[in-house]
């Protein structure tokens, strides 16, 4: 739990009610935050949220977060709509709001608060990512270096990492801003490519690092070592090394197991192996995975893909080291968040029988 101790108030405090007016918006139960309580409203998907708060309300917000970054899905109408509403809402509440440069132009924002992801990570206490899991992954690889708390509004498809619905995000977000939230840290992987003992490239992965051929339907040969011990050789389309976060992504599609987020484990999933006895294996996350690419491979365009977004070039004879990174993704969730509810909802699992 991430409960800020400053939010503990004694009985007998006087709380004031205040309506937030934004056209024809539905009313939500009020929640207490700092010294005020207010009726909460939430915009429908088609509305642009424009709340009206008094200057007194602005100054009485007691939040563990003071500087909030807005990150979004560029050139996406729905995401821009949500970002516009969030920007108006947060600035009216008195927060310092930073905006990612890629979406700032679409929002008509051109001031000193427009920054790239690195600058956002250096200055923000909380980042709100509006988009799909892909947008969350791209932001997380950068923000994890700064331990910025991150929460997402889903404007994508499945949305395993983006908790908040664009139709009713305001009430749970208000709770988070008041310090009422669940907090968790998820580890990342670091993948590095070595050639003749020299590191040629490296990057981070939130979901998975994947060794794969550069040509479609071409097999590659490589050996797998765990903590220096030889495990097996492979002739396959590649191999997936996934975190618990990534176990519900590419790894799941390839037949890998689902790992709950708190497990200190990774899974190795062969991709269409030539040996039918090759099966996924779950390892201690502190293990070092070393992949030795055979020099006899004819494919000189092999790659290591990090989260399907960043690629590292691999040549025959190269060595790939994959291990747990020291950086972690700091996710915050509403208090009613349940990982198993997410799985059941996203994967279409059966509901309770009785």
- Extract the annotated binding site: 133-134, 207-208, 218, 235, 237, 248-253, 309
Query: What is the DSSP secondary-structure string of 169-188?
Result: -HHHHHHHHTT--EEEEEEE
133 is catalytic: yes
Q: How far apart are alpha carbons 243 and 264 in whole angstroms?
A: 9
**Residue 131, exposed/middle/buried by CB under 10 A (0-12, 13-18, 19+)?**
buried
Rg (CA), the chain: 23
Residues 6+ apart with CB under 8 A from 169: 42, 82, 153
Catalytic residue among 4, 111, 116, 133: 133
**Dihedral sign from CA coordinates of 86, 128, 37, 54:** negative
Which residue, among 31, 42, 57, 70, has the nearest Cα to 148 in the 3D structure?
70
What SS3 state is found at 93? coil
Q: How far apart are alpha carbons 156 and 158 in whole angstroms?
A: 7
User: Taking the CA of residue 37 as centre, how many other CA atoms within 13 Å lie in the half-sphere pointing to its CB?
Assistant: 11
Which residue, among 232, 200, 207, has the nearest Cα to 321 in the 3D structure?
200
What SS3 state is found at 318? coil
Per the listing, tokens 């907090």 go with 183
Q: How far apart are alpha carbons 324 and 340 in whole angstroms?
A: 25
Which helix (H) or strand (E) segment holds residue 59: the answer is helix 55-59
Encode 10-46: b = buried (16+ Cβ within 10 Å), e = exposed.
Answer: eeeeeeeeeebebeebeebebeebbbbbbebbbbeee
Q: How far apart are alpha carbons 112 and 249 in whole angstroms?
A: 37
Q: How many CB atoms lie within 10 A of CB 111?
A: 7
> Which residues belong to the annotated binding site for NAD(+)?
133-134, 207-208, 218, 235, 237, 248-253, 309
The residues annotated with a catalytic role in the active site are 133
């Amino acid at each position: 739990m991430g409960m800020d101790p400053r939010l503990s108030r004694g009985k007998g405090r006087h709380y004031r009610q205040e309506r937030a007016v934004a056209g024809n918006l539905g009313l939500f139960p009020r929640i207490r935050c700092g010294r005020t309580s207010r009726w909460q409203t939430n915009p429908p998907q088609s509305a642009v949220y424009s709340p009206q708060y008094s200057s007194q309300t602005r100054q009485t917000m007691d939040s563990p977060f003071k500087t909030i970054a807005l990150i979004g899905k560029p050139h996406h109408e729905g995401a821009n709509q949500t970002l516009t509403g969030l920007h108006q809402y947060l600035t009216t509440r008195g927060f310092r709001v930073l905006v990612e440069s890629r979406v700032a132009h679409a929002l008509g924002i051109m001031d000193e608060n427009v920054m790239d992801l690195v600058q956002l990570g250096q200055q923000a206490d909380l980042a709100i990512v509006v988009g799909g899991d892909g947008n969350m992954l791209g932001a997380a690889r950068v923000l994890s270096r700064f331990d910025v708390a991150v929460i997402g509004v889903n404007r994508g498809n499945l949305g395993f990492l983006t908790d908040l619905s664009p139709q009713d995000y305001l009430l749970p977000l208000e709770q988070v801003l008041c310090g009422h939230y669940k907090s968790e840290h998820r580890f990342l992987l670091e993948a590095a490519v070595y050639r003749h003992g020299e590191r040629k490239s490296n990057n981070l992965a939130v979901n998975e690092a994947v060794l794969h051929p550069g040509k479609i339907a071409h097999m590659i040969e490589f050996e797998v070592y765990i903590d220096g011990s030889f495990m097996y050789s492979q002739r396959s389309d590649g191999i997936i090394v996934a975190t618990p976060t990534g176990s519900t992504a590419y790894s799941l599609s390839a037949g890998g197991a689902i790992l709950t987020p708190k497990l200190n484990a990774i899974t190795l999933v062969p991709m269409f192996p030539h040996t039918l006895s090759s099966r996924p294996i779950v390892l201690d996350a502190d293990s070092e995975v070393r992949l030795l690419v055979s020099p006899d491979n004819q494919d000189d365009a092999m790659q290591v893909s990090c989260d399907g977004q960043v690629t590292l070039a691999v040549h025959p004879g190269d060595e790939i080291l994959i291990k747990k990174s020291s950086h972690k993704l700091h996710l915050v969730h509403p208090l009613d968040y349940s990982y198993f509810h997410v799985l059941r909802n996203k994967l279409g699992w059966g509901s309770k029988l009785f």
